[in-house]
Structure 1
Amino acid sequence: DAADGYTIYFGKSSDKLYGNIMVYGKSDYFFTGMDREDTYYFQIEAFNSNGIGPRTEIKKTE
């Protein structure tokens, strides 16, 4: 089944993804307020009426 939304986990360390954003009804999200000098890590999981899918591999930005 298709995703109804996504939870995006993020942080400045790959083992500390303490921030999260829930996105409903769309497949993109634009982050603001992040420092270009810092490295961030992201992981995403999809959800729908059947439950929550597995998280993606952690991705790093530089």
Structure 2
Amino acid sequence: MRKRGTETLALPPIVGIPTRLEAAQVRIGCIFSPDRTWAFMLFLADDAGAVLACTGVRQAGR
């Protein structure tokens, strides 16, 4: 992302979360901002009762 110049939010803290936890322990969700300029990836506990991490990525061309 950095090499491409893509703007991100909170990316370094979430790197490795999927590899540190078993796939059965994490759910992943995606939310777009109303104007679709940002996409936010949510890493949720397996029961979706807690957000483990979140990162945002500015969409290309926006």
TM-score under structure 1 length normalisation: 0.38
TM-score under structure 2 length normalisation: 0.38
